């Protein structure tokens, strides 16, 4: 009888745990490191809004097998040397940790509304990702973090690596 009681108690606890996880929509107890994952072969346009609001949007648009970079009324054919590193950085961005969930601290990390580099990624006109790349922090142990905020979210994430360098094409 005692083993049977323990079995049912354990079964009840597992069902309760599963029900709570299902109802709250949480998939696991671990921190989800996958912040941005993009199938780069599906990307047809990338819109970059430079840090300084006086600069115009830079639009990278795929036309056939070539990319065209436009800013204002200027357009040039973009080289693969310019596009490939950007696409490679966008393909898989994993967060190291959340640095803040407080909107008042966004400016400290360079991800306020008028700060950072805003990147919008499209596939056939559909928005795939919309995020801000903020400031870079260099630590004493040679670790480099870039702060990123998804446009619609409040959390600011620390991502290992220097992501601003690949996101600053100029015309």
- C-alpha triplet 61, 153, 22: angle, nearest 5°: 115
Characterize 3-12 residue by residue with b for buried, 16 or more Cβ atoms within 10 angstroms of its Cβ, and e for exposed: eeeeeeeeee
Determine the pLDDT at residue 171. 46
Determine the pLDDT at residue 54. 63
Determine the pLDDT at residue 89. 85
Closest CA to 39 of 93, 80, 92, 79: 92
Check: CB of residue 109 under 8 Å from CB of residue 95: no
Element (H, E) at 57: none
Domain parsing of the chain, residue ranges: 1-27, 34-167
The pLDDT averaged over each successive group of 10 residues in the chain (171 residues) is 74 73 55 84 92 80 93 90 86 90 94 90 95 92 92 93 63 46
């Amino acid at each position: 009888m005692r083993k049977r009681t323990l079995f049912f108690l354990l079964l009840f606890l597992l069902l309760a745990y599963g029900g709570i996880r299902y109802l709250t929509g949480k998939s696991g107890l671990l921190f989800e490191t996958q912040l941005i994952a993009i199938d780069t072969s599906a990307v047809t346009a990338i819109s970059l809004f430079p840090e300084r609001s006086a600069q115009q949007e830079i639009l990278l648009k795929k036309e056939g097998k070539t990319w065209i970079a436009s800013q204002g009324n200027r357009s040039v054919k973009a080289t693969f040397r310019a596009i490939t590193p950007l696409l490679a950085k966008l393909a898989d961005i994993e967060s190291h940790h959340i640095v803040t969930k407080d909107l008042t601290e966004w400016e400290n990390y360079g991800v306020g509304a008028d700060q950072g580099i805003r990147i919008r990624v499209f596939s056939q006109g559909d928005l795939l990702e919309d995020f801000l790349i903020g400031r870079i922090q260099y630590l004493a142990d040679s670790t480099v973090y870039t702060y990123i905020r998804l446009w619609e979210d409040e959390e600011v994430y620390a991502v290992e690596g220097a992501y601003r360098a690949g996101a600053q094409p100029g015309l």
